[in-house]
């Protein structure tokens, strides 16, 4: 059973409904997190570039903060491709621990959209990388994820207006 989106809120939701909910929620959560952390100067991390739509959105709306992109295999739209020096190429299971040595607990905003079509795998992966993401966030920093994360020290926030609960998750240190 493969489904990228989390289970429907109601039985009459189509896959198109779920997809739209996910996209609308991703944008609302990102915009909220960008605004909440606007006064911070620490770097922003985009985990999973994919086509680059969310990276493009963040690049348009974030100023004065470097955006580092974590991706294992480049396949982005040319308009949404980060410069080489901002790309951290490799598997996040290796690049996140290495980034703790490089950046310390300095990230003002971390966005993760690393999942594929298999919900169980996405959940297992979120469990696996939660302890690798958690120490990278600065005090006051926010983490936005398409999958529920499993943090010990971060607080889950209610989703902002415009987002659908369960389609996007926001955490604060
Ligand atoms: N948010 C993106 C957008 O708006 O276009 C879509 C991201 S796409 C759903 C997920 C991306 O995460 C894929 O490009 C995939 O290669 C990457 N990814 C998945 N697992 C990864 C891993 N372990 N390490 C690095 N990148 C990974």
Which domain covers residue 128, as residue numbers?
18-78+86-172
- Residue 4 forms part of a structural domain: no
Q: Which residue has the tokens 């680059």?
A: 52
- Residue 69 forms part of a structural domain: yes
Report how many domains make up the chain: 1
The ipTM is 0.99
Taking 90 as the threshold, does the pLDDT of residue 58 lie above it?
yes
Measured from CB, residues less than 6 Å from any atom of ligand 1 are 48-54, 70-73, 91-93, 113-114
- Residue 10 forms part of a structural domain: no
Q: What percent of the chain has pLDDT over 70?
A: 94
Please write the tens of the pLDDT for every residue from 37-49: 999 999 999 999 9
Q: What is the pLDDT of residue 168?
A: 97
Q: How far apart are CA 45 and CA 136, in angstroms?
A: 9
DSSP bridge pairs for 137: 107
Kindly state the average pLDDT of the residues 127-143: 98
- Where residue 159 sits, what CATH number does that domain have? 3.40.50.150
Q: How far apart are CA 27 and CA 77, in angstroms?
A: 18
- Residue 12 forms part of a structural domain: no
The DSSP 8-state label assigned to residue 162 in this structure reads T
Specify the DSSP element, H or E, that contains 108.
Answer: strand 107-112
Calculate how far, in angstroms, residue 128's C-alpha sits from the geometric centre of ligand 1.
Answer: 15
């Amino acid at each position: 059973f493969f489904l990228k989106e989390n289970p429907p809120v109601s039985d009459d939701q189509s896959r198109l409904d779920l997809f739209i909910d996910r996209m609308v929620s991703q944008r609302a959560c990102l915009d909220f997190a960008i605004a909440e952390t606007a006064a911070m100067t620490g770097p922003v991390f985009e985990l999973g570039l994919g086509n680059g739509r969310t990276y493009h959105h963040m690049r348009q709306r974030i100023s004065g903060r470097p955006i580092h992109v974590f991706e294992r295999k480049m396949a982005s739209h040319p308009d949404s491709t980060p410069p080489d020096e901002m790309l951290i190429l490799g598997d996040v299971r290796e690049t996140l621990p290495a980034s703790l040595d490089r950046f310390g607990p300095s990230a003002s905003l971390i966005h993760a959209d690393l999942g594929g079509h298999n919900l169980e795998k996405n959940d297992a992966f979120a469990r696996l990388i939660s302890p690798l993401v958690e120490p990278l966030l600065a005090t006051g920093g926010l983490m936005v994820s398409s999958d529920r994360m499993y943090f010990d020290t971060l607080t889950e926030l209610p989703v902002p207006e415009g987002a659908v609960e369960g389609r996007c998750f926001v955490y604060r240190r």
